[in-house]
Amino acid sequence: MGDLSATERTRHRRLREQGRTDREVLLSVLRAGFVCHLGVVVDGDPMVVPTVYGYDDDHLYVHGSAASRSLTRGTTVCVTITHVDGLVLARSVFEHGVNYRSAMIYGVPRVLEGDEKLAALRLLTEHATPGQWDYARQPNRKELAATTILAVPLAEASVKVREGHPDDADDPHDVWAGILPLTRSWQAPLTDPQAAAHPVPPHILARTAPH
């Protein structure tokens, strides 16, 4: 797939050692989460909206109500995804930091219709919960009409990763320093009382199984 192309908006100016240009790293950041923040300008004012997403090798897909003002079209948007992997606790407060993986994507989104729209909804659903698209009822015409799907190209993106221990090993203040890791996991499913007659499907149980 090749490296990410640097532009004036995505060029790494600070902390360049944390910058990544491998496109696979971008996809790994997308793979690890399912919530992004969509930054747009609406009526001259900035707006940042959290929303779930799906993706393929070429596009990020976001969705929302057809009446939403945040689902702008024809103008550039900025989408961010961030994963916090731990706190970096140094010998000095100044050197404290965060181990993280992040991506910032710029692009002019395209509104999807017809088969493209349905395929993007499937990607979005399967990214959040694999197996759910074929298990649950799929959207009908009324629901599709009430939903907007935007495709944001993955052509212009900035990726950064910070990992490892504090950078102040030579600090004279001799105290403990290290990393406080942060992990997340799905917990046991909570069955809707109105669905108590049905067992939890295997594809849901698979999300909560220890790895």
Q: Transcribe 10-64 into DSSP letters.
A: T---SSGGGEE-BHHHHHHHHHH-SEEEEEEEETTEEEEEEEEEEE-SSEEEEEE
Q: Classify 80 as helix, strand or coil.
A: strand
Per-residue pLDDT of the chain (211 residues; tens, 9 = 90+): 567 767 777 666 666 666 666 789 999 999 999 999 999 988 888 999 999 999 999 999 999 876 676 676 678 999 999 999 999 999 999 999 999 999 999 999 999 999 999 999 999 999 999 999 999 999 999 999 999 999 999 999 999 999 999 989 898 999 999 999 999 999 999 999 999 999 999 999 998 876 5
Fold of domain 16-182: Pnp Oxidase; Chain A (2.30.110)
Give the whole-angstrom CA distance, residue 73 versus residue 70: 9
Which tokens go with 67? 């009446």
Domain map (residue ranges) of the chain: 16-182
pLDDT of residue 66: 63
Say what the pLDDT of residue 208 is.
Answer: 85
In angstroms, the CA 177 to CA 5 distance is 37
Task: Measure the CA–CA gap between 35 and 14, rounded to whole angstroms.
Answer: 26
Q: How confident is the model at residue 115, as a pLDDT?
A: 94
Residue 16 is predicted with a pLDDT of 61
Question: Global pTM?
Answer: 0.88
pLDDT at 42: 85
